[in-house]
């Protein structure tokens, strides 16, 4: 949120009150759908339990004005699916809509608390025009936006007689938290060519070697002979053989999900990997690529059998799907690792615990 705070601070300032240069790293100028994911899902089963339950996270998160300033503020972010399959947009900055859709926990039935929430929501909406505009004249801006991770984009719901149901999050490229065009400050969602790329997830963006190198070039004098610290650039790709000819399928983003984050000792857990291919990949086929998978824990490393679960619908959506099963989960944390490319290995944790 540092980028948002900085942008708000600069408004109305002139001359020496303004910085000469500002660097935004994954700043959610147009918001992040992860705010609604937090309301619906919390963080993950283990963290939810440690925090006192998902309802506690829901209640406390909405009490912070800053949380509401991260709401998605781009067109078509949220919609209700009607019986005609049409998409009716939802006005997310209307407090009454939150009440009617059941987006508020019980404590917000208190009139004073609801009134404060309404004021915070209106304050957040008032920032939309500001956050969509560049810094005052004379401030040089540099924006970093990642497009290498699966990121929540839209929230869809189905209207029923008892209220909204079947929350569904669609995905797009980003840093896992902020969509690429939100960090690039592009309200039209058309492209993000006005920003520099980053490759790390949102929470570790400061460790991105490419970003650090560019940051150094911006603020320090670097000699041409200084080595580039980036080991590799570009997106991962799958090496396949099609009719005897080698081909490369570029990966747009990957999702790795486990059936249960915390499982009883000695039981099994499943993990599913979904690889979304770039739109330019033509006619992807099943069974031409099979990733390797291992399970690593305190007792060592186990090679896992990978099953190709790709369907024709998946192929039509340029997606490949793979699954594995971890048997006899032991105590503590273990990690499932799929090796997709030489420099790209999605990982997911599984915790073994007593009933």
User: Which of 48-62, 126-140, 219-233, 246-260 is predicted most confidently?
Assistant: 126-140
Based on the domain organization, do 298 and 181 belong to the same domain?
Answer: no
User: Comparing 19 with 219, which gets the higher pLDDT?
Assistant: 19
Torsional class of 94: left (φ above 0), alpha (ψ -120 to 50), beta (otherwise): beta
Domain boundary residue among 219, 239, 269? 219
Q: Where are the beta strands (DSSP E) in 201-244?
A: 237-242
* CATH classification of the domain holding 275: 2.60.40.1930
Q: Across all residues in the chain, what is the average pLDDT?
A: 87
Based on the domain organization, do 209 and 259 belong to the same domain?
Answer: no
Bridge partners, residue 321, by sequence: 274
Look at residue 240 and tell me if it is in a domain: no
Based on the domain organization, do 111 and 209 belong to the same domain?
Answer: yes
Look at residue 246 and tell me if it is in a domain: no
For the stretch 112-132, pLDDT in tens is 999 999 999 999 999 999 999
Number of domains in the chain: 2
DSSP classification of residue 291: -
Quote the domain boundaries for residue 93.
Answer: 2-219
Give the pLDDT score at 231: 46
Name which of 106-110, 209-213, 315-319, 324-328 the model is least confident about. 209-213
Q: What is the pTM of this model?
A: 0.73
Look at residue 146 and tell me if it is in a domain: yes
Look at residue 225 and tell me if it is in a domain: no
DSSP classification of residue 264: E
Look at residue 19 and tell me if it is in a domain: yes
Based on the domain organization, do 186 and 47 belong to the same domain?
Answer: yes
For the stretch 222-247, pLDDT in tens is 665 555 444 445 678 898 988 888 99
Torsional class of 83: left (φ above 0), alpha (ψ -120 to 50), beta (otherwise): alpha
Q: Quick one: CA dihedral 307, 312, 314, 319, positive or negative?
A: positive
Based on the domain organization, do 166 and 286 belong to the same domain?
Answer: no
User: Which of 52-56, 258-262, 278-282, 288-292 is predicted most confidently?
Assistant: 288-292
Q: Are 89 and 74 in contact (CB under 8 A)?
A: no
């Amino acid at each position: 949120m540092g980028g948002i705070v900085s942008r708000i601070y600069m408004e109305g300032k002139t001359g020496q009150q303004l910085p000469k240069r500002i660097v935004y790293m994954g700043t959610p100028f147009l918001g992040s759908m992860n705010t609604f994911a937090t309301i619906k899902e919390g963080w993950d089963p283990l963290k939810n339990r440690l925090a006192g339950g998902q309802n506690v996270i829901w209640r406390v998160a909405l009490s912070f004005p800053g949380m509401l300033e991260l709401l998605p503020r781009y067109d078509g972010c949220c919609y209700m699916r009607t019986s005609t399959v049409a998409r009716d947009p939802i006005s997310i900055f209307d407090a009454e809509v939150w009440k009617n859709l059941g987006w508020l926990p019980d404590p917000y039935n208190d009139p004073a608390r609801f009134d404060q929430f309404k004021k915070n929501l209106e304050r957040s909406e008032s920032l939309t025009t500001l956050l969509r505009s560049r810094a005052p004249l004379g401030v040089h801006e540099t924006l970093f936006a990642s497009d290498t991770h699966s990121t929540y984009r839209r929230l869809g719901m189905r209207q029923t007689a008892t209220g909204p149901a079947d929350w569904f999050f669609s995905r797009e490229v980003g840093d896992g938290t902020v969509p690429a065009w939100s960090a690039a400050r592009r309200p039209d969602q058309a492209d993000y060519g006005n920003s520099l790329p980053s490759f790390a997830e949102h929470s570790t963006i400061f460790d991105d070697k490419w970003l650090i190198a560019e940051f150094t070039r911006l603020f320090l004098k670097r000699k041409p002979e200084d080595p580039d610290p980036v080991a590799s650039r570009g997106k991962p790709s799958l090496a396949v053989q099609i009719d005897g000819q080698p081909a490369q399928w570029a990966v747009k983003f990957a999702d790795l999900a486990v059936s249960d984050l915390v499982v009883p000792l000695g039981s099994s857990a499943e993990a599913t990997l979904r690889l979304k291919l770039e739109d330019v990949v033509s006619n992807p086929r099943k069974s031409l690529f099979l990733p390797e998978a291992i399970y690593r824990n305190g007792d060592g490393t186990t090679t896992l059998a990978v099953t190709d679960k790709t369907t024709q619908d998946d192929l039509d959506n340029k997606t490949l799907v793979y699954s594995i099963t971890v048997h006899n989960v032991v105590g503590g944390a273990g990690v499932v690792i799929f090796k997709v490319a030489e420099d790209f290995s999605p990982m997911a944790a599984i915790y073994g615990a007593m009933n």
